[in-house]
């Protein structure tokens, strides 16, 4: 066996290895995307009212870049100098539990935990894309 044959065999082996790795990674991405889509659809059904309101808010051009929202009681006075998103305990049954579920999947996260200010959360950017892409 000469050196040229060995190099040719090595080159073919490397190319086949890269090709198989590429196919495997593409398959993994496709499976991950499908799994996330199924999870999002399940969450949409389980938390329809809240997620529909979130989608409507994020589709509003006034909130195009808004990623934070507050959770309040309707009778609580809250003053912020800029437009903000807010979801109310009075409007959504078990709102804390619903937010906990979304948080557990990493779709939102709480950004303050102070007891003297309203709870403030932040949307995950991927969650915003999923909400905006949802057909109602």
Each domain of the chain, given as residue ranges in start order, spans 1-46, 47-133
The pLDDT of residue 1: 65
Distances from the Cα of 49 to the Cαs of 2, 40, 122, in angstroms?
Answer: 71, 14, 19
Model pLDDT for residues 102-120, shown as the tens digit of each residue: 999 999 999 986 666 788 9
% of the chain surpassing 70 pLDDT: 94
Instruction: Convert 20-36 into a string of H (helix), E (strand) and C (coil).
Output: HHHHHHHHHHHHHHHHH
Q: What is the CATH topology of the domain spanning 47-133?
A: Arc Repressor Mutant, subunit A (1.10.10)
Model pLDDT for residues 46-93, shown as the tens digit of each residue: 999 999 999 999 999 999 899 999 998 888 777 777 788 999 999 999
pTM: 0.73
């Amino acid at each position: 066996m000469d050196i040229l044959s060995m190099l040719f065999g090595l080159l073919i082996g490397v190319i086949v290895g890269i090709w198989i790795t590429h196919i495997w990674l593409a398959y993994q991405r496709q499976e991950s995307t499908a799994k996330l889509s199924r999870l999002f659809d399940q969450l949409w059904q389980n938390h329809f009212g809240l997620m529909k309101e979130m989608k409507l808010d994020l589709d509003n051009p006034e909130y195009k870049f808004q990623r934070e929202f507050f959770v309040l009681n309707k009778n609580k006075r809250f003053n912020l100098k800029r437009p903000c998103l807010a979801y109310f305990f009075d409007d959504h049954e078990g709102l804390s539990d619903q937010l906990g579920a979304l948080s557990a999947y990493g779709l939102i996260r709480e950004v303050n935990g102070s007891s003297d200010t309203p709870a403030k959360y932040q949307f995950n950017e991927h969650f915003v894309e999923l909400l905006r892409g949802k057909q109602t």
